[in-house]
Amino acid sequence: MIKSDGTKAGLRQGLLAVRSGLTPGDVETAGRALARRALELPELAGAGTVAAYVSVGREPGTRALLDALRSRSVRVLLPVLMADNDLDWGVYRGAAHLVKAGRGLLEPDGERLGPDAVTGADAVLLPGLAVDGRGMRLGRGGGSYDRVLARLDRAGAAPARVVLLYDNEVVARVPEEPHDHPVHAVVTPGGVRRFTA
């Protein structure tokens, strides 16, 4: 059961408390299931470029998915956190080309493509802590992906926006603010749920 006081901060705290109880085995098993589910999405099956991220800690695992996309000759873009919390992008060239960065993140080495590189993606895989039945996503609160979603809207880009979560993180309601943007789908180890975003 996720405890929350109804605020974004309270919901984040409750979700992170549940995640803290997961074992590395739980994360790895969920990551394999997420990869299988995500690869079944038509939006990924036909994608030439996918913007994704490298999971860290107890986030739902993305490593298997990143490698599967790369093995299908999909160009995978990974975020690079800039000093102002905005995101630059680089190409994923395999686990050997990931470097440790601030906040415990892993980022691609090599060329930086600029913050607008994400606007050329066919699909954007988003981290998060929760999503509700309207497709409203709750992130960690840093605003990096809010900027990405706003950038996509400003550019008129229409990639599929998919959040990767654990099954219990699809919740009844996520507190919403004016800058929040809905996603098109959520993938969990248990399945896919689509929204009319």
**What are the structure tokens assigned to 135, written together?**
């497709």
Neighbours of 116 (CB within 10 A): 14
Instruction: Supply the pLDDT for residue 119.
Output: 94
Amino acid (1-letter code) at residue 125? L
| pLDDT tens profile 178-197 | 777 889 999 999 999 998 64
What is the Cα–Cα distance from 190 to 115, expressed in whole angstroms? 33
Instruction: Supply the pLDDT for residue 157.
Output: 76
| Mean pLDDT (the chain, rounded) | 90
- pTM flag (> 0.75): yes
Question: Mind listing the pLDDT tens digit of every residue in the chain (197 residues)?
Answer: 566 667 888 898 999 999 999 999 999 999 999 999 999 999 898 899 999 999 989 999 999 999 999 999 999 999 999 999 999 999 999 999 999 988 888 999 999 999 999 999 999 999 999 999 999 999 887 788 888 988 988 887 789 999 999 999 999 899 888 777 889 999 999 999 998 64
Could you give the domains of the chain? 25-194 (3.40.50.10420)
Instruction: Supply the pLDDT for residue 2.
Output: 63
Which residues lie across from 64 on neighbouring strands? Answer: none
Q: Is the dihedral of CA 129, 16, 30, 90 positive or negative?
A: positive
3-state DSSP call for residue 116? helix
**H helix intervals, 40-75:** 42-45, 63-71
Instruction: Supply the pLDDT for residue 27.
Output: 92
Cα–Cα separations (whole angstroms), residue 170 to 44, 134, 154 = 21, 11, 28
| Pairing status of strand 185-188 against strand 191-194 | antiparallel
What is the Cα–Cα distance from 197 to 159, expressed in whole angstroms? 12
**SS3 of the chain: helix, strand, coil, percent, to 5:** 35, 25, 40
3-state DSSP call for residue 118? helix
| CA angle (125, 183, 102) in 5-degree steps | 45
